[in-house]
Amino acid sequence: MVKDHTTVWGNCLQTIRRNVNLQSFKTWFEPIKSVRLDENALTIQVPNRFFYEWLEEHYVALLKTSIRKELGERAKLEYQILTAKNGKATTRPGESKNGDHYSPGMVDTGNIKNPFVIPGIKKVRIDPQLNPNYLFDNYIEGDCNRLARSAGLAIAKKPGGTSFNPLVIFGDVGLGKTHLGQAIGNEVVKKIPNKNVLYVSSEKFTNQIIQSIKNNAVNDFVNFYQLIDVLIVDDIQFLANKQKTQEIFFHIFNQLHQNGRQIILTSDRPPKDLDGMEERLISRFKWGLSADLQAPDLETRMAILEAKMNLQGVEISQDVVEFISYNIQNNIRELEGVLVSLIAQSSLNRREIDVELAKEVIRNFVSQLNKEITVEFIQSLVAEHFDVAVEKLQGKTRKRQVVIARQLSMYLAKNLTDKSLKAIGETFGGRDHSTVIYSCKTVQDLMETDIIFKDTVSELEKKIKMSLNEK
């Protein structure tokens, strides 16, 4: 009995239907049409290249089994891929313009205009546009970024396979959003090299859309982005009030997310505060995880500076490192800028890198050097207010007035200095960090229940800051 392509594909569909759920069958197999049968080669027509990619990635074994069941071990499956133009295939059925057959494991993307194509390579390879220096190894972890960094590592192991999709990394300028986003990309490229990773700034993305509109190639543009497995878009706040760009990005986002591709976005504010952004986009940005990057504490800033020193191959004394870290508080890029300037000044002027040189350099970065609030200064002011000796705050006496003064001093030291809990405890007679935590909690509880005590705390905070400005 001679089989025709319709019968063969119909029988294949029966096999496939028994092996996938109903929704997957309707989504990925019902739109396919059989085109022709040449001996043992069945040609099927799929709506687009992205559709082909999905079948090859997720259902190639099932397709192979079903076609061999109908046509034998030498069976072949070829594809005819439609283009958006007139709904017709632009190549001859089953082969590309170069005569290459569409067969499992191979896709011709020659007709898709790739904004990042590497010239001279027949098949499209996507340059991920990543900075090789942005790695997890040199992204220092601290309380300020632990959630975002941990989520990034999880994504890098299983892009698109976690609940962190999309991952929105937000925070002020210079806190490492771009570094973290690209670190995820670099890790994926290293560990899963067959994944297509792409980093693009929102500005470049917008310019690509403008060019694609001018060249009447929006469909090519969208098709290209649908090939990406991990898409990293930097500074999405700059898409605000760009309606056409948002519309196209919305469709790309939907396709990628629906098909299990990973999306990573960075922003200078959380999704809910993105003015000028369509509500449907904001809603989708909230689907995954929004992780904020905060200004690093003193210990983290010192660790970051020391890591950058190791990278530069220089040694700087601990007091200089601490001085720089104390005065550059909110921007990691400025930390790096100070270090580069210090090295340059030291080399060109043949000066030793000391605190004095650091002061000269830092004045170019901040308008006024921070005057340090010390734990000892807080102890003296609190002791004076409660009319107790400073030595008693550091001693073991359990008199109520001394205990309150001691606990309040610890609370203010934690809030007004960059000292660690351990360091604060040491200045109170060698107490451990758990005592400091307990004291801070006690003060917070008292402030919530005792208005007079709360006013006392506020008064002391003002007094400390005013005394500092008078120095």
Residues 5 and 17: their CA atoms lie apart, in Å, by: 18
Q: Would you state the CATH architecture of domain 298-362?
A: Orthogonal Bundle (1.10)
H runs (alpha helix) in 271-419:
279-285, 298-312, 318-327, 332-349, 355-362, 375-386, 390-394, 400-416
Buried b (16+ CB within 10 A) or exposed e, 162-181: bebbbbbbbbeebbbbbbbb
Q: What span, in angstroms and rounded, lies between the C-alpha atoms of 437 and 425?
A: 10
**pLDDT in the model for residue 97:** 30
Position 101 scores a pLDDT of: 35
Domain covering 146-293, topology: Rossmann fold (3.40.50)
Q: What are the boundaries of each domain within the chain?
A: 5-87, 146-293, 298-362, 375-469
Q: Model's pTM, two decimal places? A: 0.53
Is CATH 1.10.3720.10 correct for 375-469?
Answer: no
DSSP state of 101: B
The strand order across the sheet containing 289-293 reads 197-201, 230-234, 262-267, 167-171, 289-293
What pLDDT shows up at residue 189? 92
146-293 and 298-362 share one fold: no
Decide if 358 contacts 320 (C-beta within 8 A).
yes
* Residue 23 CB partners (closer than 8 Å, separation 6+): none
Any idea what DSSP says for residue 372?
A: P
Task: Please report, in tens digits, the pLDDT of each residue of the chain (471 residues total).
Answer: 567 889 999 999 999 998 888 877 887 888 888 988 888 888 888 876 667 767 877 788 888 889 988 888 888 888 887 654 444 443 333 333 333 333 333 333 333 345 544 343 334 567 888 988 889 888 888 878 888 888 899 999 999 888 888 999 998 887 889 999 999 999 999 999 888 899 999 998 998 888 888 888 888 888 888 888 999 999 999 998 988 899 989 989 988 998 889 999 999 889 888 888 888 889 888 888 888 888 777 778 888 888 877 776 777 877 788 777 777 777 777 777 888 888 787 777 777 788 778 877 777 666 544 456 788 888 888 888 888 888 888 888 888 889 999 999 999 988 887 677 888 888 898 888 889 899 999 998 898 888 888 888 888 887 776 665 444
Virtual torsion, Cα 118, 122, 123, 127, nearest 10 deg: -10
For residue 249, give both structure tokens: 């990005």
Predicted local distance difference test score (pLDDT) of residue 169: 92
DSSP 242-263: -HHHHHHHHHHHHHHHHTT-EE
- 5-87: CATH homologous superfamily? DnaA, N-terminal domain (3.30.300.180)
Distance CA 238, CA 272 (A): 15
φ, ψ (nearest 5 deg) of residue 264: -125, 125
